[in-house]
Structure 1
Amino acid sequence: MSLKKAGFFIILILLIDQISKIYIKTHFAIGDEIEVFDWFRILFVENEGMAWGTKIPGEYGKLALTLFRLVAIVGIGYWLWDSVRKGGSRILIFAISLIFAGAFGNIIDSVFYGIIFDDSYGHIASFLPESGGYSSLFHGKVVDMLYFPLWNGYLPDWIPFWGGQYFTFFEPVFNIADSAISVGVVMLLLFNKRAFPKNEHEE
């Protein structure tokens, strides 16, 4: 796969990701929810940290996370360019493109959303508000909205540790960028031999 085709996929994913996030941010308040199916809902939440809402503690935790993401995206971008240059497999380049697009999509939120939107608590956010954004550069929150509560109920008592507790599967709320990263990683795991084929000399 050429770098041009990889770039097309990246731009397409970024557009879908950012359009969906901007729509949610400008039409929903935090906690607003629309039920599409019993097992699929649009639920607006914001993530201040990493996956699963994990935060880096301390005054500069959010800044450190955003800077780490920026360094990581440079590394992923080099990996993509180098794989194309070396004639890497189509699966490898497509998977890296998905990971790059997803990481880039969430970086946009982290870097810019704090200054281009006001907060969404109790009201719908405004784009480029006159009073300023809800935070500063590099301190934005990632917009999540895809929620798949496939099963809700109390776990059997015989299950260790969690028996008898109310449980929701699948509980995390995520976005298009997260989906792209997950699909890319799963592709590399499932199709590892095709993504990283060994030539005869190496064998």
Structure 2
Amino acid sequence: MKNILSKGQLSILIVLGILILDQVIKIEVKTNMFYNESIHITDWFYLRFIENPGMAFGMQIVPKAIQTIARTIFAIAIGWYIVILIKARYKRGYIACVSLILAGAIGNIIDSIFYGVIFSKSTPTEISTFVPIGEGYTGWLH
């Protein structure tokens, strides 16, 4: 069976598609839910609005600017790794999986750079809104 997309095109499509979906969902949650609000989807799936400063689980080991620089370096490395995988003729499924990781990494970079600048603070009693750049709840590199 002939593939419609090359491995590179597939990777780009996955990254862009997931990034768009990720940002749309995050913006919808941020502008329609209270902080820590939970929505019951099924018996085993709840959507809960939380925000972690720093890295996973809210760990703050190094300054935020260094975290963002490190995230950016890692994302570039993952992108380069995908290029290597494509040139080495790895299977499409593996390239797709690494592309999903890259999309998540880029999404986290976008969040850390912009979200504190363009949104008001989310609280348990107040839903976040878009605000003019610079009037958000924190500066760049949140």
TM-score range, shorter chain: 0.7 to 0.9
The aligned residue for residue 17 of structure 2 is 12
- Greater gyration radius: 1
The aligned residue for residue 124 of structure 1 is 127
Secondary structure of 1:136 counterpart? coil
- Is the aligned partner of 1:37 residue 2:39? no
Q: Deviations over 1:128-149 (max 9, x none)?
A: 347711111111xxxxxxxxxx
Secondary structure of 1:7 counterpart? helix
Cα distance between partner residues in 2 of 1:35 and 1:123: 20
The aligned residue for residue 135 of structure 1 is 138
Deviation at 1:109, TM superposition (A): 0.4
Cα distance between partner residues in 2 of 1:129 and 1:42: 28
Identity of aligned residues (%): 38
Gaps in structure 1 of 5+ consecutive residues: 140-203
Q: Check whether the contact 1:117–1:126 (CA below 8 A) recurs between aligned residues.
A: yes
Superposed counterparts of 1:91-170, under 5 Å: 91-121=93-123, 122-129=125-132, 132-139=135-142
Secondary structure of 2:46 counterpart? strand
Secondary structure of 1:34 counterpart? strand
The aligned residue for residue 53 of structure 1 is 58
Structure number with higher strand proportion = 1
Cα distance between partner residues in 2 of 1:65 and 1:46: 16
TM-score norm. by structure 2 comes to 0.86
Structure 2 CA distance for partners of 1:53 and 1:131, relative to 1, 3 Å? closer
Cα distance between partner residues in 1 of 2:103 and 2:37: 27
The aligned residue for residue 184 of structure 1 is none
Q: Check whether the contact 1:25–1:124 (CA below 8 A) recurs between aligned residues.
A: yes
Q: Check whether the contact 2:118–2:133 (CA below 8 A) recurs between aligned residues.
A: no
Instruction: Name the aligned partner's letter for residue 40 of structure 1.
Output: F
Q: What is the aligned counterpart of 1:3 among 2, 8, 17?
A: 8
Per mean C-alpha deviation after superposition, the further-off stretch among 17-26 and 34-43 is 34-43
Q: How many residues align?
A: 136
Q: Check whether the contact 1:63–1:138 (CA below 8 A) recurs between aligned residues.
A: yes
Structure number with higher helix proportion = 2
The aligned residue for residue 186 of structure 1 is none
Cα distance between partner residues in 2 of 1:69 and 1:99: 12
